[in-house]
Structure 1
Amino acid sequence: MAEYDPHIQELITLKTIAETLNESNELTPMLDAVIGKLLELTGLTTGWMFLVEEQRTHEFVASRNLPPALSRENNEPMRCGSCWCLERYDDGRLKNAVNILNCKRLDNAVRYQWGDTEGITHHATVPIRSGNRRFGVLNVAAPGKLHFSKEELELLESVAYQIGTAMERMRLYASEQRRADLFARLGEYSSALGAYASQAVNRSELTEQVMSLMGRYFDWPVAALLELAGNEMKLRSLYTGGQTTLPHAQFTIAEMSSARPGIGRHKLDSIRNEDAQRLAEQLVEEGWIPPIKQVIAVPLARAGDFTYELLMVGYDTYGSSNHGDSEVIEVLAEQIGMSFQRIRLEENRRELARMDERNRLARDLHDSVSQTLFSLGMMSKGVGGMLDMQSHGQNSMLQDTLHDIQSLSQSALKEMREMIMQLRPPGLEEGLVTGLKQYGERLKLMVRSHISGIQELPRIVEETLWRIGQEALNNVSKHAATKDVLLILIIQDDHVELRIEDHGRGITKQRLNELTRHSIGLSSMRERAESIGGQFRLYSVYREGTIVEVMIPLEARSSDKEGDY
């Protein structure tokens, strides 16, 4: 291998390799050049290199002088399948430079007659690393060379370490460049998001803008907003293929190892890689996103409520630079979460203003119009009685007119009372379940009820459940073709659940999809629940019945007593 003092030759080789590595800042040209220089200095004829980003995955990145059997069809034998050296690398057995007695790729070339191997049967394999970080393997060979000496392997190890150090330097440089670029884009994104958030009127509109802006300012092929509750995952918004969608799709998921113990739901402060990968695989299986090779998921910033949401970013290639995106994605998730919290607070403020206005209107209607209608009815009844006594049956036309006035005033008074009840439901004074039960009975429904837990509910929560319950009972009365309804209220320390079930005609899957997109009633129920951090679900099976389910968190609202408003 050397014609003079091997130590001098080794120093010359290492010096020349170091100079070659410093001549380029692009990975592939650098690796190709260094393999060529190594072969020139050592007298070997052939070399090739694999990079390994993830276990069981590898990329053929550089080579020099491959024999025809291995270079056929654009190096196809080197690009497909694994081999013994890569298997040893993956399972951790390849720690130092070794002699490979038989090469699987060369054996296959002979077995399947791929072409001339030019006398190469064996090669040395060297792991490429820098410190604890591993990058891949370097292979070198020569015709007829069956064994590499200890000194040769040590020199190859030194060269491989130089290559690994140069690759680490290039990786860090590229990572810092990408980090700087991403933070610059993050600044532009934040400005645009702030402008949209100040104008958005509801959560759905803001969610769509969040993802559209992400596609505009970042180069991630897949991004998704997920909401986790219990063993269910809801796909809130999705950016893929250059388009933003709001699927509102739900899936059942297994308990996540990232979750800390909670009351029947996930509580995430961070999410592990395996959990993020599992969620991504489920989205792929459901057909919502294309296959991805890497994924980063970060919980959104929260303000004490029980909505646990994730920002997930997917990559279609492996790359160490992808891991450097985590810091930017974390900042992004915090900004998005705070934007959602801000619009939620604004929706709460508007809801409180609407409640105050309804209460004022109810008082005014009760004090003025309803009293006037009541007086009108009494006066017409009294005048009718007087005319009857005086005329003894005469002036029947006038009496009929007075009777009509009395009927109309009674009808108007009844409708006015119904309006006042809608504006400020008196049934709530006896409790939510009692109020809804009485409301259902006025709709000629047979309402059975079940209550679990005792706790005073904040007024905004109680009125939200009341409005949703009214709409659900109205739907049963109009569409379910059944009079039997089950009303369930479950109150726990941190959340309240309202469930309204019927075993009526149900809804077909096609019709349910149409209603989910276009029904004002369903949209109203969902928006009411989500405006105070809750969740709305509708389950229906044709000819088996329908379930309306609402869950609203109480943790952040335990101090919202009646007098606070």
Structure 2
Amino acid sequence: MSTHDTPHVQELITLKTIAETLNESNALIPMLDVVIGKLLELTGLTTGWLFLVEEPGTHEFVAGRNLPPALRRENNEPMRCGSCWCLERYDDGRLKNAVNILNCKRLDNAVRYQWGETEGITHHATVPLRSGNRRFGVLNVAAPGKLHFSKEELALLESVAYQIGSAIERMRLYAAEQRRADMFARLGEYSGALGAYASQAVNRAELTKQVMSLIGRYFDWPAAALLEPAGNAVTLRALYSGGQTTLPHAQFPLAETARARFRKEAGSTDPLRAEDAQRLADHLAEEGWIPSVTRAVAVPLAVAGDSANGLLLVAYNPYRDSYRADLEVIEALAEHIGLTLQRFRLEENRRELARMDERNRLARDLHDSVSQTLFSLVMMSKGVGGMLAGEPNGPNSLLQDTIHDIQSLSQSALKEMRELIMQLRPPGLEEGLMTGLKQYGERLKLHVHSHISGIQELPRTVEEALWRIGQEALNNVSKHADTKEVTIALSLQNHEVELRIEDRGRGITRQRLNELTRHSVGLSSMRERAESLGGQFRLYSTYREGTIIEVQLPLVGKLTGNEGGNE
């Protein structure tokens, strides 16, 4: 072989050795360090380092061999902080091929700020790492006193860099597939655990809390949240962050772009736009609910035949391409959570219908049997008392007292029976929900102003839920608002009903409202009644300005097994 062929043979040996080294491991960072060492050994260069770049403006120093002391100081601080000319050219797209860097900014700074010895290295070659159209970072190589790299040297470095880029792509695909397999295995375990808990759950709040707790147990995301859009705001229903699960029920404004998305695509299962999801995560971080994260995904919980538009928000700091599978898992997770909550809600509705049927049956039986018997007993005791009073020889005092006691006891029992029947079957609803609430408020000495819009027959579960929520709200006004004026507004539409109860009383301070949100049995009861029917409960209050309670309940697709109407 001629000496003319020797450089080309050396190039082939270099490329072969690098290829073999790259195929020896699937551990990315150790592999890159070994490859740089092999490259320096084969080319006669002395120093090399490599940056990985995920997004413009960011870089990660991942490997370096024989760096001069000035660049190794304080655990490679000069390599980990700040940008340089080669990375700036890479970020703005000017670094397309291997080039000579006439002066290295990091080395210049080392001399200027006297960081230490540079060992005669002033220049280096910079090579972009890529595979096809994908770019991964830059490789730098240098030697003391070497001021220029020939075209042949740069061509060899480009070939090596392409091999490294292809290996990085392969390893990331492998890592992504490994993570995908692991994540879907965790999803299966999560589904089994949630299904087992849902079959025994007592109420929706506890089930929602368990939904988030299990996310923390089976997945490695730092934060996740269940959000519910409500007009121009978002309600934070449940949260997992820092190893803790909470049910905050906090509200905050919703960005206009996200509001438009919800209005336009209600019921869609497609994820929110990345910027909208990140905006939601940033707001939660600003409020201290979750740590700051670099990426967030928000997926609706809507399922077929269900118009619920809650969101599952997952926030995390992605580590390269191994997180490609996360979005697939989050979408599947959101669908599973949506189905679980829907099944639980429908089962609650079924049980509530059964309870209502039983209560109505019992009320009818008591009215038709026991109540009628007691009424007859009252009448008979009155008749006997009248007959004794008309006796010609005068009334038998002892007997008359006994009859009087029977009459009193039977009247008392009849009164208690009627009250029991009324509790089993709510009074006032025979004339309609609004009339019943108005009369109830007036019995509490409130001045009730009522407004109703729309004509719609309400299912009995919806009507009773609104009745109970309205009762609790009016009781709160009577006890705590320090006002007698209250407004009740009922809006009936084809697909939903909204009840709004408003007073202009003393209102609630923010601190007190947070305490009540977490600990008030009355507020929890109202919220649970609304949510059990797939609805929303909201409370707004400003100190010294008043309080507003809003309840929205769906009328379509939520109440299976209910023909509607009242008995």
Q: What TM-score results when the alignment is normalised by the length of structure 2?
A: 0.89
Contact 2:190 2:218 in 1 (8 A): yes
Match of 2:368 in 1: 367
Output one character per residue of 1:21-49: Cα deviation in whole Å (capped at 9) or x when no partner. 12222111211111122222223222111
Against the structure 1 CA distance between its residues 290 and 180, is the aligned structure 2 distance closer, same or farther, given a 3 Å change threshold?
Answer: same
Letter in 1 for 2:337: I
Confirm or deny: 8 A CA contact 1:53 1:318 kept in the other structure. Answer: no
Q: Name the amino acid aligned to 2:158.
A: E
- Specify the code of the residue in structure 2 equivalent to 1:67: P
CA contact (8 A) 1:179 1:325 kept: yes
In the alignment, is residue 292 of structure 1 matched against residue 288 of structure 2?
A: no
Q: Relative to 1, partners in 2 of residues 1:345 and 1:558: Cα closer, same or farther, differing over 3 Å? A: closer
Match of 1:235? 236
Q: Distance in 1 between matches of 2:507 and 2:378?
A: 44
In 1, distance between residues paired with 2:142 and 2:5?
22
Counterpart CA distance in 1 for 2:178 and 2:35 is: 24
Distance in 1 of aligned mates of 2:478 and 2:266:
33
Deviations 1:332-369, CA, capped at 9 Å, x for gaps: 22222211111111101111011112211222233234
Residue identity in the other structure for 1:431: G
Higher alpha-carbon deviation: 343-352 or 381-390: 381-390
- The equivalent of 2:208 in structure 1 is 207
1:500 aligns with 2:501: yes
Amino acid at match of 1:562: G
What is residue 457 of structure 1 aligned with on the other side? 458
User: Residues 383, 503 of structure 1: CA spacing in aligned structure 2 closer, same or farther, 3 A cutoff?
Assistant: farther
Greater CA drift, 265-274 or 229-238: 265-274
Deviation, structure 1 residue 275: 2.0
Cα separation, partners in 2 of 1:134 and 1:555, compared to 1, 3 Å: farther
Maintained 8 Å contact 1:538/1:549: yes
In the alignment, is the contact (CA less than 8 A) between 2:496 and 2:553 conserved in 1? yes
Which amino acid in structure 1 is aligned with residue 68 of structure 2?
Answer: P
Q: Structure 1 residues 212 and 521 mapped into 2: Cα distance closer, same or farther (>3 Å)?
A: same
- 1:530 maps to amino acid: E
Q: Give the match for residue 482 of structure 1.
A: 483
Question: What is the TM-score normalised by the length of structure 1?
Answer: 0.89
Q: Find the counterpart in structure 2 of residue 13 from structure 1.
A: 14
Distance 1:499 1:113 in 2: 71
Mark the CA change 1:267 to 1:403 in structure 2 (over 3 Å): closer, same or farther.
farther
How many residue pairs end up in the alignment?
564
CA distance in 1, matches of 2:230, 2:168: 43
CA–CA distance in 1 between the matches of 2:520 and 2:418?
Answer: 28
Q: Deviations over 1:78-135 (max 9, x none)?
A: 1112222222322333232233333222222222121222232222222111122221
- Name the stretch that deviates more: 313-322 or 542-551: 313-322
Q: Could you say which residue in structure 1 is the equivalent of 2:307?
A: 306
Alignment CA distance shift 1:534-1:479 (3 Å): same
Deviations 1:274-298 (A, max 9, x none): 2222221111111111222333333
Q: Which amino acid aligns with 2:184?
A: F
Superposed displacement of residue 7, structure 1: 3.4
Q: 1:184-235: per-residue Cα shift (whole Å, max 9, x none)?
A: 2332222222221211122222222223333333333323322233332222
| CA distance in 2: counterparts of 1:113 and 1:121, whole angstroms | 14
**Aligned-residue offset at 1:563:** 7.1
Alpha-carbon separation, structure 2, partners of 1:43 and 1:365: 101
Q: Secondary structure at the match of 2:557?
A: helix
> Would the alpha carbon gap of residues 539 and 365 (structure 1) be closer, same or farther in structure 2, given more than 3 Å must change?
farther
Secondary structure at the residue paired with 1:550?
A: strand
Aligned with 2:487: secondary structure?
strand
Q: Is the 8 A contact 2:459 2:566 kept in 1?
A: no
Q: Which 10-residue stretch deviates more, 544-553 or 288-297? A: 288-297
Secondary structure of the 2:263 match is: coil
The CA distance in 2 between the partners of 1:15 and 1:317, in whole Å, is 34
Q: Distance in 1 between matches of 2:351 and 2:36?
A: 68
CA RMSD of aligned residues (A): 3.2
Residues 361-391 of structure 1: CA deviation (Å, up to 9, x unaligned):
2222332344445445555666666677779
Tell me how far apart the structure 2 counterparts of residues 318 and 97 of structure 1 sit (CA, whole Å). 27
Partner of 1:562: 564
Q: What secondary structure, in the 3-state scheme, does the structure 1 residue paired with 2:428 have?
A: helix
Does the residue aligned with 1:466 lie in a helix, a strand or coil?
Answer: helix
Moved more, 523-532 or 437-446: 437-446
1:93 is matched with 94
Question: Superposition pairs for residues 258-269 of structure 1, below 5 Å?
Answer: 260=261, 262=263, 269=270
**Distance in 1 between residues matched to 2:205 and 2:86, nearest whole Å:** 52
2:62 alignment counterpart: 61
Q: Which is worse superposed, 405-414 or 186-195? A: 405-414
2:232 and 2:295 map into 1 onto residues whose CA distance is 24
Which segments of 5 or more consecutive residues in structure 2 lack a partner in the other structure? none
**Alpha-carbon displacement from aligned partner over 1:521-562 (angstroms, at most 9, x marks no partner):** 222211111111011122233333222111112342598542
What residue identity is the alignment partner of 2:564?
Answer: E
The reply on whether 1:221 has 2:222 as its aligned counterpart is: yes
Secondary structure of residue in 2 paired with 1:304: coil
Q: Cα 1:404–1:109, aligned 2, differ >3 Å: closer, same or farther?
A: farther
CA distance in 2, matches of 1:264, 1:132: 34
Deviation at residue 412 of structure 1 after TM alignment = 6.0
Residue identity matched to 1:298: V
Distance 2:531 2:256 in 1: 24
Measure, in 1, the Cα distance between the counterparts of 2:71 and 2:253.
Answer: 48
**Cα separation, partners in 2 of 1:285 and 1:176, compared to 1, 3 Å:** same
2:112 pairs with 1:105? no
Deviates more, 1:21-30 or 1:538-547: 538-547
What is the one-letter code of the residue matched to 2:477? V
